Amino acid sequence: MLLTEFKNLKQLINYFSTEEICRDYLEEHRWGGIPTCPHCTSDKWYKLRNTKLYRCGTCKKKYSVTVGTVMESTKIPLSTWFMAIYIISAHKTGISSVQLGKDVGIKQSSAWFLLHRIREMFQEKTFTKLTGVIELDELYVGQKDRKNRTKKMKPGRGSVNKIPVLGILQRGGNIVYQVVPDTSADVLRPIISARVDKAAIINTDGHLSYTGLDKEFAAHEVVNHGAGEYVRGIYHTNGVEGAFGQLRRGIRGIYIKMSKKHLQRYCHEFSYRFNTREMKDADRFVSLLDRLPGRLRYQDLIK
């Protein structure tokens, strides 16, 4: 029977003391005791002697439990993978590749690639539309003023030289972060339509790109920040602005600077962390093992 209750990192490290234990655990969690070919999904198999490999009885291809996952072809021990998954999912504002490398005993460059593969697990593969009371807002990430080098890299409201991130929050529920090229209506409206149910009540500030949402959704309530209005009864955007706070703290305090190319991956990390805020660290670790499928190659990451 799989152990799913790890009280702390020390207990997890003690439990996954050998690679054999790690691999057996992963096989039981992913396959339920019946190896399944990642190439053709056949459950006909036999194990190759003195190896960690199986051969499919249908397509005859070899495979292991990590094939077709973010761990495929990894040279990092599974015990190190498990430690890293637990650490990054438990840290409220993330962890740098430098610190993770020190914590688990690998090079910074290996830790950087490892972190991005774990962020691949944070990404939603399927989703249901958000409904109920929805809050929309934007955050701008990047350098405040490139001409003044004394100003720090930090997220905020100003848009000059910054990358916009759209936040869509279901009040009391989940959040979606989407990096966008700009905040025009032509860019934002299709994203909102794809992620929000038509029966939802939309709350926004006075951004002109949100004009007309009342024609598409059940209602659209605007709080006029320019006039000093931030709350009108149940209508406000304080929830999504609060969620942005966690993303801000992660960027300012941990990651400092990130490229536009990888920003969406960091957003997946913080949206997953926010959406699992009620989970215990052990439950979050186990839930991430359900998200292993989906290989990320190094060349695809850096191209």
The per-residue pLDDT for range 151-173, each reduced to its tens digit, is 444 565 556 778 999 999 999 99
**Residue 243 CB-density burial (10 A; 0-12 exposed, 13-18 middle, 19+ buried):** buried
pLDDT tens column, 234-270: 999 999 999 999 999 998 889 987 888 999 999 999 9
Write down the pLDDT at residue 143: 64
Percentage of the chain modeled with pLDDT above 90: 80
| Terminal C-alpha separation, the chain | 42
Write down the pLDDT at residue 181: 95
pLDDT tens column, 61-115: 999 999 999 999 999 999 999 999 999 999 989 999 999 999 999 999 999 999 9
Rounded Cα distance, 133 and 64, in Å: 45
Rounded Cα distance, 198 and 64, in Å: 44
pLDDT band at 126 (very low <50, low <70, confident <90, very high): confident
Write down the pLDDT at residue 132: 97
Q: What is the 3-state secondary structure (H, E, C) of 125-177?
A: CCCCCECCEEEEEEEEEEECCCCCCCCCECCECCCCCEEEEEEEEECCCCEEE
Q: In the block, which residue shows the tokens 């691949």?
A: 120
Q: What is the pTM of this model?
A: 0.89
**Residue 231 CB-density burial (10 A; 0-12 exposed, 13-18 middle, 19+ buried):** exposed
204, pLDDT greater than 80: yes
Structure tokens, 79:
């015990």
* Domains of the chain, each with CATH number or no CATH: 9-125+281-302 (no CATH), 133-258 (3.30.420.10)
Rounded Cα distance, 162 and 140, in Å: 6
Nearest Cα neighbor of 127 from 177, 58, 76 is 177
Average pLDDT, rounded, for the chain? 91
Beta-carbon contacts of residue 29 (< 8 Å; ≥ 6 apart): 2, 286, 289, 290
Rounded Cα distance, 12 and 6, in Å: 6
The CA distances from residue 61 to 14, 27, 32, 153, in Å, are 35, 18, 21, 49
44 and 56 Cβ atoms separated by less than 8 Å: yes
Write down the pLDDT at residue 135: 98
Write down the pLDDT at residue 257: 78
Buried b (16+ CB within 10 A) or exposed e, 114-124: bbbbbbbbbee
Write down the pLDDT at residue 157: 54
**Which stretch of 131-135, 209-213, 279-283 has the lowest confidence by average pLDDT?**
279-283
Write down the pLDDT at residue 147: 54
Q: In the block, which residue shows the tokens 């860019």?
A: 187
The whole-number average pLDDT for the span 52-57 is: 95
Nearest Cα neighbor of 209 from 222, 196, 200 is 222
104 and 84 Cβ atoms separated by less than 8 Å: yes
137, pLDDT greater than 80: yes
Percentage of the chain modeled with pLDDT above 70: 93
pLDDT tens column, 14-26: 999 999 999 999 9
The whole-number average pLDDT for the span 186-208 is: 97
Rounded Cα distance, 259 and 238, in Å: 28
Write down the pLDDT at residue 142: 82
